[in-house]
């Protein structure tokens, strides 16, 4: 039986310490790749020398430093395989990674790509080899929710996915402006067009280490990764919000039926994504749109909507979300029956959060939560809120706060 051809793309920039181990893991695959393309994106260290032992087994491309997406586009033009595996120059693959990905794709021709979890790893100081730490487990959810779950949180890294080459060609090249976050943007693009499935278990040892990141034009230290990730992620998420139909935010990606609840849930789902990306102007606009869907038949929030707001509250780790100006803006747009119901659910989350902090003796934090509730509700509503708190602070909260 003829094995399917797999092309590996490996872009590198100043990774002389790690690239050999990464390539060794590629060539040690139980299902070996048919093509390995290494693109040296203008390295200024000894990366070229580190690649010498592999030169007879790789297709070597070299370019001036323009960032990873440009390098990937250069390599993609040379791909000859049926599948494309984009490997990082500092990560290490498990020996059966390709075997497991290919087996799933070959057994299910309707799939465009596969993905897996990975193992967070560090570097052994003595020999610079990978040092596995713990598996990054992935949440379980229905297949039809994959796109919105991915948009809420990026849980993939590029080496953990294998994609049919035809799918990459159909969605188009990487965005050269995204010198960070290009893998996330591409995964969202693929998820919008093609079904995917998860490979059982991890396939990659993901190396977490210090040192500079980015391209020569935008170099930053490891401690700035989250800040830079957010900067570039906001660029493509903001653009995506303008282009992506509301139907794609609904489970099963069915077009809105015209019922107010469908549209409202789509607005709230998009709102929650914008909030997680700290795109607060866009978040508040979606709050406003959801609040306007105030048909008398749908004035009460559905359980799915309440759960969505609770999940959002639990996931927000940015103090600016609770800044008085943001809260006042939410209160201003969330008026009428639906808007009041939305604010009421958020206030209910604050209520139980306050009870939990009081139980732990964190009185200053509880006072801060009360102030937040006041910004959302107004003084009159807050008076009732505090009365309930005094009467019931020992009672048990809802399951999402247990």
- Tell me which residue of 198, 186, 205, 201 sits closest to 84, measured CA to CA: 186
Tokens 């009365």, located at residue: 387
pLDDT digit string, tens, across residues 266-289: 999 999 999 999 999 999 999 999
DSSP state of 245: -
- Tell me which residue of 14, 22, 30, 62 sits closest to 158, measured CA to CA: 22
E strands, 42-178, are 59-63, 83-88, 92-93, 113-123, 130-136, 161-164
- Tell me which residue of 186, 170, 194 sits closest to 112, measured CA to CA: 194
- Regarding predicted confidence, which is higher, 26 or 304? 26
| DSSP states along 151-169 | HH-----GGGEEEEHHHHH
What is the model's pLDDT at position 378? 65
What is the model's pLDDT at position 376? 82
Q: What average pLDDT score do residues 197-203 get?
A: 96
CA dihedral 388, 393, 396, 400 (to 10 degrees): 80
Please name every residue paired with 10 in a beta bridge, in sequence order, or none if there are none: 38, 87
Determine how many CB atoms are found less than 10 A away from the CB of residue 361.
Answer: 8
Q: Enter the pTM of the model.
A: 0.86
- Torsion angles phi and psi, residue 317, rounded to 5: -125, 20
pLDDT digit string, tens, across residues 58-82: 999 999 989 999 999 999 999 999 9
pLDDT digit string, tens, across residues 239-248: 999 999 999 9
Q: What gap in Å lies between CA 375 and CA 330, rounded to an integer?
A: 9
Q: What gap in Å lies between CA 152 and CA 146, rounded to an integer?
A: 10
Residue 22 has pLDDT above 50, yes or no: yes
Orientation angle between helical segments 68-76 and 182-193, nearest 10 degrees:
50
Residue 167 has pLDDT above 50, yes or no: yes
pLDDT digit string, tens, across residues 97-116: 999 999 999 999 999 999 99
What is the model's pLDDT at position 367? 81
CB 99 within 8 A of CB 76: no
What is the model's pLDDT at position 366? 81
What is the model's pLDDT at position 30? 97
């Amino acid at each position: 039986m003829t094995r399917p051809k797999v092309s590996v793309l490996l872009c590198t920039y100043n990774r002389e310490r790690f690239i050999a181990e990464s390539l060794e893991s590629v060539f040690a695959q139980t299902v070996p790749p048919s093509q390995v393309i290494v693109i040296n994106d203008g390295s200024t260290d000894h990366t070229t020398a580190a690649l010498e032992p592999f030169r007879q087994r790789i297709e070597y491309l070299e370019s001036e430093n323009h960032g990873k997406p440009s390098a990937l586009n250069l390599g993609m033009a040379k791909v000859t395989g049926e599948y494309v595996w984009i490997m990082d120059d500092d990560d290490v693959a498990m020996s059966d990674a390709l075997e497991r990905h290919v087996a799933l794709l070959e057994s299910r021709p309707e799939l465009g790509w596969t993905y897996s979890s990975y193992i967070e790893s560090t570097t052994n100081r003595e020999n610079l080899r990978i040092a596995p730490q713990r598996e990054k487990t992935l949440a379980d959810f229905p297949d039809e929710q994959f796109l919105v779950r991915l948009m809420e949180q990026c849980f993939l890294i590029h080496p953990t996915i294998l994609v049919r080459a035809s799918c990459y060609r159909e969605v188009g090249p990487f965005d050269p402006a995204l010198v960070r976050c290009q893998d996330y943007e591409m995964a969202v693009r693929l998820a919008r067009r093609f079904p995917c499935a998860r490979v059982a278990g991890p396939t990659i040892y993901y190396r977490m280490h210090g040192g500079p990141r980015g391209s020569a034009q935008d170099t930053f230290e490891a401690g700035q990764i989250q800040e830079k990730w957010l900067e570039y992620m906001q660029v493509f998420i903001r653009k995506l919000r303008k282009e992506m139909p509301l139907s794609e935010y609904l489970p099963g990606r069915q077009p809105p039926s015209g019922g107010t609840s469908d549209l409202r849930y789509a607005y709230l789902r998009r709102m929650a994504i914008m909030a997680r990306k700290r795109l607060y102007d866009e978040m508040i606009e979606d709050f406003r749109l959801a609040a306007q869907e105030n048909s008398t038949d749908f004035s009460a929030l559905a359980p799915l909507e309440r759960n969505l707001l609770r999940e959002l509250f639990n996931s927000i780790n940015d103090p600016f979300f609770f800044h008085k100006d943001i809260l006042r803006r939410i209160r201003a747009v969330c008026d009428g029956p639906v808007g009041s119901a939305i604010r009421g659910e958020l206030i209910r989350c604050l209520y139980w959060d306050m009870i939990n902090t009081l139980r732990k003796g964190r009185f200053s934090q509880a006072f801060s939560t009360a102030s937040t509730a006041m910004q959302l509700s107004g003084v009159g509503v807050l008076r009732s809120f505090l009365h309930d708190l005094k009467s019931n602070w020992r009672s048990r909260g809802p399951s999402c706060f247990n």
